[in-house]
Structure 1
């Protein structure tokens, strides 16, 4: 079964949230179809303990084809998920692509899903959840030059910032470092967006930075397809980047 290009969920791509650390002006990027997503804490004063800077995105299973997006230590025996951006050149250009990972048996596409600004977590009602569920996901992409001087995962449902929270996942009844999304508050007409307004107490604002890796091959029985896997900018080693 071929994976068709993701459907149009947004008219235009939202601007990436500005980090409080300076963008890495001289960090070289490479090009790859496959990448890990690595957390960079954009406000060190709000980092968690222990620090989650450099942790990688993984998924915690919560039901059939349902997963919560979480961060795990890079020293874990289970590597981070390999992701790829799925979409035609036009979809990528207009912020209508999605970011996928292949999992299950046979290999099946699971997409990053971000709740919209009117949807909230049932347990933490001020937070917008991020899932990695079966299907194409919600519109997301790796930022492109010249729209952004550096490469990060962008939620194309609206401007804001990803955050990492030490939350209890009800399915397990135990704590995980879950990934949530905080939508920015519009303070126009001249003030633009306030990105820090809705960060939940105790959560760390993060960028999810692509680290290059080889995109996994697919066996003949796979439901996933890499026909529309886009080539994106990524970094060879995120943890070595000097952010200021």
Structure 2
């Protein structure tokens, strides 16, 4: 009788779990690009930004906003010790300049619960890293304690006058009207040339896809 009750409970747990981790990548790499996966098609742009890459929009010496682009892709790495990553204390970085300096992925101060993504000199926001949370069947870029989502908004950037860019942000609550709700999925890439000291000492491997575009089932559960 007890065995039957235990089995019934286990079956209930399995049935209640909405996520099956069947889309986990088989590859690992220290370098990767971040590929846009639109999770709510009704918020997408025309043309679609699905499969765009995370890049950066220069706004001053050592300063940039996060943006997305169909061709220009930054190659990132996950920075920290193995212990840092295990405790959710890693950062996401790309190297630029001669000599190379780390430019960190970070969330700027929020306004109306929306934070612009910055890519400035430094190591970025601690805890932003590649992970596979309980509610996802695939790895993507997460925010520590975050229950919101990354978004892309088509808007002007003051540094360039009236010129519009596809700007990357993080919405802690509702997605603003006119912005696309997305996730950022790692695609394996080779780190270029000589890197910064932080890359040489602390770049950690992540699970990543060889080609996100050919992994068509990624994100289907997000659309349901």
The answer to whether TM tops 0.5 is: yes
Higher helix share: 2
Q: Which runs of 5+ in 1 are unaligned?
A: 1-21, 185-197
The counterpart of 2:26, out of the listed 21, 24, 29, is 29
The residue that corresponds to 1:96 in the other structure is 89
SS at match of 2:84: helix
Q: Determine if contact 1:166/1:177 at 8 Å carries over to the other structure.
A: yes
> Closer, same or farther in 2 for the Cα pair 1:41/1:148, shift >3 Å?
closer
Instruction: Please identify the structure whose Cα radius of gyration is greater.
Output: 2
Q: Go from structure 1 to structure 2 and tell me whether the alpha carbon gap of 1:144 and 1:228 turns closer, same or farther (over 3 Å shift).
A: farther
**Number of residues of Structure 1 aligned to a counterpart in Structure 2:** 198
Q: Which runs of 5+ in 2 are unaligned?
A: 1-18
Shift of residue 203 of structure 1? 0.3
TM-score by length of 1: 0.75
Equivalent residues of 1:38, 1:57 under 8 A apart: yes
Structure with larger RCO (C-alpha < 8 A, sep 6+): 1
**1:199 matched to which residue of 2?**
175
Distance 2:167 2:157 in 1: 8
Does structure 2 retain, via aligned residues, the 8 Å contact 1:85–1:230? yes
Measure how far apart 1:25 and its partner are: 2.6
Runs of 4+ in 1 over 4 A off after TM superposition: 144-148
Relative to structure 1, the CA distance from residue 23 to residue 63 in structure 2 (aligned partners, 3 Å threshold; closer, same or farther) is farther
CA drift of 1:50 comes to 1.3
Across the aligned residues of Structure 1 and Structure 2, the Cα RMSD in angstroms comes to: 2.2
CA pair 155-145 structure 1, distance change in 2 beyond 3 A: closer
